[in-house]
Chain A
Amino acid sequence: MNARQAGPYWLSAPALAVYAAFLVVPLASIGLISFQHFEFYGGIQPGLTLENYRAVLGDSYYWEIFGRTFAIAVLVTFFCAVLGTLEAIVLYRMADPWRSLFLLVVLGPLLISVVVRTLGWALLFGSTGLINKAFLTLGIISEPIQFMYSTTGVVIALVHVLVPFVVISVWASLQKMDPAVERAAVSLGAGQLTVVRRVIVPLAMPGILAGSVMVFALAASAFATPAIIGGRRLKVIATAAYDEFLNTLNWPLGASLAILLLLANVVLLYASNRLIERRYKAVFAESAA
């Protein structure tokens, strides 16, 4: 190999070295201890065992946590997909300067710390109780809803944290759409609703799916929002792993939880990427042309 061919490898060598030392090795070591035995008075023991996985997968306590995490992720994904897609279509149909302004309003919160955004919901739900007060005054509900320390509260706050990802992803799909298609549908006599349902949504589907997959992965591994809104009792996988590592100090057990979460995440993201790419190859090819 001459110098010219070796060039790209040399250029990426520093980043690769850092990744090898500080990403691959730590992940491998956490994978390793998930197969090791833990003693309360002796710490992590040498030798490999499946007992942590057996303990996690054979305990109804953990299945409840898996079930809750999955249910929250499904609900959050559903609401984000519906609300995010509708908002992206509304934004797409706006004219500047409103379009740019509201795009900024919707995407901007992604740059604000999740802790700050979740604190906002904790204030609305709990301390000031503003949402319940407003709903009671408007007569929407007859008695206060328990948002804090409830799945409802966690789902609402997570939808707020994650919905911008669907908006941006659908928005990107809509940008590739030929406006003539929509005009053609209208000229053939399609109503507003038909245009959205039969033309815009199908064309935006790759974006809707890609955004939803991302939201699902992030919701299933979310930590700050479930920890603050859900509290100690409403545990999800991420907060359970946190407790094993920093409170119980059973690292091998916590590691097996983390590894299961990682595997689920990687399988989901990889499989869905393949699926979306294959299913919508035609759409991508068309829009690239």
Chain B
Amino acid sequence: MSKNNPLALVFHTLFIGFILAPLLIVCVVAFTPLGYISLPTDRLSLRWFAAILDNPRFISAFWLSLGLGAVSSLIATALAIPAALAIARNRFPGRDALSAFLLSPLMIPHIVLGVAFLRFFSSIGINGTFTGLSLGHVIVILPFALRLVLAAATGMDPAIERAAVSLGASRFTVFRRITLPLIFPGIVSGWLLAFITSFDELTMSVFIANPSTTTLPVRMFLQIQDTIDPMVAAVSALLIAGTLVLMLVLDRMVGLERLFVGKSRRG
């Protein structure tokens, strides 16, 4: 394999700079001691991080997003596991159609899902409720969980299960002691990716959230539309830090490139 020439490395440096610049500026501005958006020049201050704690709207939005992410990612993963096993291990009529249908929310713009949920949830009276938000999020994040569980289940050697059956294990024991442990990394990474996707979702949620059920991205979006102050930057800096931790965990478990390509290779 040939090496990169100097020109390629210059391009690479500029590209990485382009990727990191907006994230770095957010983190730098978050430490400003002044009352408006500015780059800290002589000293750093934590006043805007402290200001978040005094802002109940952001705090409650954070807890709501956390709870919403936890509930919807658990439901989505629980629904995805049996479906993934069905698709990965059987040949049956309609198999391709089934997996295409279950992955289809990936192809639908979130703005379309948002207006569809707004209309539907209003008509059955659950718009702006936690239930409504959870249902919407389950639909949006299920494909992510499904893809990763599917990849893990496809990569599993069926001979191991047959061996367990031949040794007298019941179907439930096989599932609990053989199948589940083998696809467990896929389940955990699918669940984590589903959680992050839910936690970050804005476009669909902005339609179905109301003032008492505003998620963190929606709260930030509304705030930014109004005015950009250093506190939003401080919240963003915390989110970047939190995502960094989760990112390293996911990279250790599956490798980020596999997370997004979702090819059926071994987790």
Interface centre among B203, B206, B250, B257 (most CB of A within 10 A): B257
Q: How many A-B residue pairs have CB under 8 A?
A: 271
- CB of B115 within 8 A of CB of A120, answer no
Q: Which residues of B contact A118 (CB under 8 A)?
A: 22
Contact with A along B18-39 (1 / 0, CB 8 A): 1111111110010000000111
Do A114 and B37 contact each other (CB < 8 Å), given the known contacts A15-B79, A26-B116, A255-B115? no
Nearest CB of B to A14, in Å? 5
Q: Could you say which residues of chain B place their CB within 8 Å of the CB of A27?
A: 108, 112, 116
Smallest distance from the beta carbon of B88 to chain A beta carbons, Å?
A: 10
Contact A223 B111 (CB under 8 A): yes
Chain A: minimal CB distance from B251 (Å): 6
| A242 partner residues in chain B, CB cutoff 8 A | 111, 206-207
Query: Could you mark each residue 176-211 of chain B with 1 if its beta carbon is under 8 Å from any beta carbon of chain A, else 0?
Result: 000000000000000000001001101100110000
Residue B148 at the chain A interface, CB threshold 8 Å? no
Which residues on the A side are within 8 Å of B138 (C-beta)?
18, 22
**A111-B197 Cα distance, complex, nearest whole Å:** 7
A25 CB to nearest chain B CB (Å): 6
Which residues of B lie under 8 Å from residue A126 when comparing CB positions?
Answer: 228
Query: Which residue in B115, B118, B225 is a CB contact (below 8 Å) of A227?
Result: B225
Q: Is the CB of A7 within 8 A of B86?
A: yes
Tell me whether A206 is interfacial, beta carbon within 8 Å: no
How long is the Cα–Cα vector from A70 to B228 in the complex, in angstroms?
Answer: 29
Contact of A241 among B25, B115, B136, B246 (CB under 8 A): B115
Quote the shortest CB–CB distance from A252 to chain B (angstroms).
10
Given A221-B109, A269-B107: A26 touches B117 (CB 8 Å cut-off): yes
Q: How far is the CA of A27 from the CA of B111 in the complex (A)?
A: 12
Q: Once the chains bind, are A93 and B90 in contact (CB under 8 Å)?
A: no
The reply to whether B236 and A19 contact each other, CB–CB distance below 8 Å, is no
Interface residues of A in 91-124 (CB under 8 A from B): 92-94, 102-124
Q: What's the least CB distance linking A139 to chain B, in Å?
A: 17
| Interface size of A as a range | 35 or more
Determine how close the nearest CB of chain A comes to the CB of B68; give it in whole angstroms. 14
A168 to B113 CA separation, bound complex (whole angstroms)? 26
Chain B residues with CB below 8 A from A46, complex form: none
Q: Is the interface of A mostly helix, strand, loop or mixed?
A: helix
A23–B105 CB distance below 8 A? yes
Given A90-B4, A192-B2, A22:B90 Cβ within 8 A: no
Contact A223 B203 (CB under 8 A): yes
Instruction: Report the minimum CB–CB distance from A191 to chain B (whole Å).
Output: 10
Residue in contact with A223 in the complex, picked from B1, B202, B239, CB distance below 8 Å = B202
Chain B residue numbers with a CB within 8 Å of A30 are 112, 115-116, 119-120
Closest to A254 in B: B115
Asked if B52 is at the interface of the complex by the 8 Å CB criterion, the answer is no
Query: Which positions 9-36 of chain A face chain B at CB distance < 8 Å?
Result: 9, 11-12, 14-16, 18-19, 22-23, 25-27, 29-30, 33
Q: Quick one: which of B9, B111, B123 has the most chain A CB within 10 A? A: B111
Contacting A at CB under 8 A, from B111-142, are 111-113, 115-121, 123, 135-136, 138-139, 142
Q: Is there contact, CB below 8 Å, between B107 and A266?
A: yes
Contacting residues, chain A, for B261 (C-beta < 8 A):
168-169, 171-172
Known contacts A22-B135, A119-B224, A261-B112: A5-B92 contact under CB 8 Å: yes
B253 interface residue (CB < 8 Å to A): no
Other than A7-B90, A119-B22, give 6 A-B pairs with Cβ distance below 8 A: A19-B102, A111-B196, A113-B199, A113-B217, A182-B2, A258-B115
Provide a sorted-by-A list of 25 A–B residue pairs whose CB atoms are within 8 angstroms: A8-B92, A11-B86, A15-B102, A19-B101, A27-B112, A33-B119, A93-B8, A109-B19, A113-B199, A114-B200, A115-B221, A115-B236, A116-B236, A119-B22, A119-B233, A120-B25, A123-B25, A123-B228, A169-B261, A171-B261, A223-B203, A224-B203, A242-B206, A245-B115, A254-B115
